[in-house]
Amino acid sequence: MDRSWIKVDRDSLEYEIGVEQFLIYAEENCQDPKKIPCPCCRCANFRKFSVKVIRGHLYEKGFSLGYVDWIWHGAKATTRSSVGSTISSSSSSSEEHVAASEAANVCEAGFNDLGDDCDKESYEFKRVLADAEQPLYEGSDCTKLDSILKLHNWKVRFGISDNAFSDLLSSIGSLLPSDHVLLTNAYMAKKTLSDLGLEYIKIHTCILYRGIYADVVECPKYHISRWKLGKDGKARINIPTKVMWYFSIIPRFKRMFKSASTAKLMSWHANQRTEDGQMRHPGDSPSWRNIDYRWPTSGSEPRNIRLALAANGINPHLMA
Q: What is the pLDDT along the chain (320 residues), one digit of tens a residue?
A: 667 788 788 888 888 888 888 888 888 888 788 888 888 877 777 788 888 899 999 988 888 776 777 877 877 644 333 333 333 333 344 344 434 434 444 444 444 333 443 444 555 666 777 777 788 888 888 888 888 888 988 888 888 899 999 999 999 999 999 888 898 898 888 877 776 656 677 777 777 777 888 888 888 877 778 888 888 878 777 788 887 778 788 877 877 787 777 888 888 888 888 777 788 888 888 888 888 888 888 878 888 888 877 777 777 676 54
Same domain, 211 and 274: no
Task: Tell me whether residue 273 is in a domain.
Answer: yes
Listed residue (199, 26, 34, 31) closest to 124, CA to CA = 199
Same domain, 15 and 68: yes
- One-letter amino acid of 73: H
Task: Tell me whether residue 116 is in a domain.
Answer: no
Task: Tell me whether residue 145 is in a domain.
Answer: no
- Distance between CA atoms of residues 143 and 133, nearest Å: 6
Helix axes 120-133, 144-157, angle to 10 degrees: 100
Same domain, 69 and 1: yes
- One-letter amino acid of 171: S
Same domain, 4 and 57: yes
Spatial CB neighbours of 318, under 8 Å, sequence gap ≥ 6: none
Same domain, 234 and 284: no
Same domain, 241 and 283: no
Cβ-count burial of 44 within 10 angstroms (0-12 exposed, 13-18 middle, 19+ buried)?
A: buried
Task: Tell me whether residue 5 is in a domain.
Answer: yes
Task: Tell me whether residue 277 is in a domain.
Answer: yes
| 136 within 8 A of 142, measured Cβ to Cβ | yes
Task: Tell me whether residue 189 is in a domain.
Answer: no
Same domain, 26 and 69: yes
Same domain, 2 and 61: yes
Task: Tell me whether residue 122 is in a domain.
Answer: no
- Distance between CA atoms of residues 190 and 199, nearest Å: 10
The model carries a pTM of 0.42
Same domain, 50 and 4: yes
Domain count, the chain: 3
* 147 HSE (CA, 13 A, CB side): 23
Please, what is the end-to-end C-alpha distance for the chain in angstroms?
76
Domain limits at 277?
267-299
Listed residue (251, 302, 298) closest to 273, CA to CA = 302
Same domain, 70 and 16: yes
